[in-house]
Amino acid sequence: MNVTRHSGFPGQKAWLDIGGISSVFCKNDPLLIIDGMIHETNYADYSIIDGFSLNPMDIVDVEDVANITVVKNGLSSWGSAGSNGMIYINTEQKSETSSAISISSYGGVGFLPQKLDVMDGAQFKSFYRNQLYQTGLTDESIASTYPWLDGGPGTVDYYKYNNNTDWQDEIYKPAGFQKYHIFLKGGDEIATYNISTGYMSHGKCL
């Protein structure tokens, strides 16, 4: 199974294909079965944000998943609907009569893995001057044609070419995330129940 993510944006859909792409014009998404029921995924392709698609698997908390089975070809089980493969997701089920409650939480901080290595104002001017030297210009001609290379605060372009603001430091910031999950199960010989709820908050580095 190939998994492709177009970004690391929280909630962004991951494109799945089992056994390779079978059609250029039609969807290659596998059939998603959650606890024996078909889960429609077409709604996830529509969004008011251009280029963003919802993750249809967000309706199942990973803490509730008991097991996942991937089937390459589901024609025999679901006909043409399973021709692109199937993903079975089974959630936790109550197996004993005793009651139990499970609470979990975690959090952390994400950082930009690597910034672009760019020149500051002084390095750019030095680089630009070397390029001009290679064209045959002298210091006198450079000073008259490009006064901002040596000019002081009084020149017109001084503040345009003499700033050292690292905009990556200004724009990007650490992104915190946190998740909480509560799972309650119980019952008796007649009936059993499972109740779960969760909350996740994930910030963005941008």
Distance CA 110, CA 11 (A): 16
Q: How many CB atoms lie within 10 A of CB 200?
A: 16
pLDDT at position 161: 77
Residues in the chain: 206
Helix (H, G, I), strand (E, B) or coil at 168: helix
Residue percentage of the chain with pLDDT more than 70? 86
Residue 23: the pLDDT is 63
Confidence (pLDDT) at 46: 66
Phi, psi of 102 (to 5 degrees): -125, 130
pLDDT confidence tier of residue 164, bands split at 50, 70 and 90: confident
Assess contact for 69 and 77: CB atoms under 8 A.
no
pTM above 0.95, yes or no: no
> What is the pLDDT confidence band of residue 92, given thresholds at 50, 70 and 90?
confident
**Residue 43's pLDDT is what?**
67
Please give the full DSSP string across 120-138, using - where no structure is assigned: -HHHHHHHHHHHHHHTT--
- Relative to beta strand 86-91, strand 31-34 is parallel
